[in-house]
Amino acid sequence: MSLEMTLYPKNSTKKSLINFLEKNDFVRVGHILKSMETKNTLWILHTRTSASASRADKNKQNKLIKKAKKQFKGNFTNDWYGDNTYIR
C-alpha cells in the first residue's frame, strides 16, 4: 500500500517540472513525468510513498507537494485524505 498525492498545476511545463524535481534532489528516470490531459493541465506531478514509510519520508512528501503547489499553483489530490489535504 502507498500514499499517493497528485498535483494538477495551473502553470507548468515539462521542463519546469523537471527543473523543480532536480532542484529538490530527485534523480531523473524515464518514467518520472507523464503527460495527462486531466483537470485542465497537460502535466502533473505524482508522488508515492509507502504507507509504512517513516514519518520523515511522509513529511518530505508533504513538503515537496507544498513547494510545488506554491510554485505552480493548482490543486492536488491525496488518495487517503482527499483533495488539498496533506498526509497526517
CATH code of the domain containing 29: 3.30.70
Q: Which domain holds residue 36?
A: 2-83
Q: Per-residue pLDDT for the chain (88 aa), expressed as one digit of tens each?
A: 888 999 999 988 888 988 998 899 876 665 555 555 555 667 888 888 888 999 999 999 999 999 999 999 999 999 888 898 898 8
pLDDT at 33: 53
pLDDT at 40: 61
Distance CA 61, CA 5 (A): 8
pLDDT at 63: 93
Residue 88, in any domain of the structure: no
**Contact predicate 10/74, CB 8 Å:** yes
Residue 55, in any domain of the structure: yes
| Cell numbers describing residue 35 | 503527460
Total domains in the chain come to 1
